[in-house]
Structure 1
C-alpha cells in the first residue's frame, strides 16, 4: 500500500503543486542554453588553438 500511496501523492503533486513553464518560456530557456553552449565551445576552441600554437612554438625552438 505504501507504493500505491506514494504514486498517488506524486501524481497529485505533479498535477496540482508544480508550476510548469509555458511553451514560450521553454523556447526562451532553450535559446539561452544554446547560446551559452556556443559561447562555451568558442572559448574552449580559442584555448585549444592557443595552446596548440604555444606548443608548436616551443617545439620549433627545441628541435
Structure 2
C-alpha cells in the first residue's frame, strides 16, 4: 500500500514541478477547436453513412423482381 501512496505522491509532485501548463486562453481556444472539428467529423461520418445506407438500399431494391 505504501508503494501506491508513494507513486501517487510522486505523480502529483511531477505535475506541480515539471509540467508546463498552458494559459487559460490557450486552453479555451484549443477546446473550441477540438469541439468544432469533432462536430465536423461527426457530420461527415453521418453523411457518408447515410450515403452508403441509401446506396445499399437502392441496390437491393434494384435486385428485387
TM-score by length of 1: 0.75
TM-score by length of 2: 0.74
CA 1:2–1:49 in structure 2 vs 1: closer, same or farther (change >3 Å)? Answer: closer
Superposed structure 1 runs of 4+ greater than 4 Å apart:
1-6
**Root-mean-square deviation over aligned CA pairs:** 1.9
What residue in structure 2 maps to residue 38 of structure 1? 39
What residue in structure 1 maps to residue 60 of structure 2? 59
Q: Unaligned stretches of 5+ in structure 1?
A: none
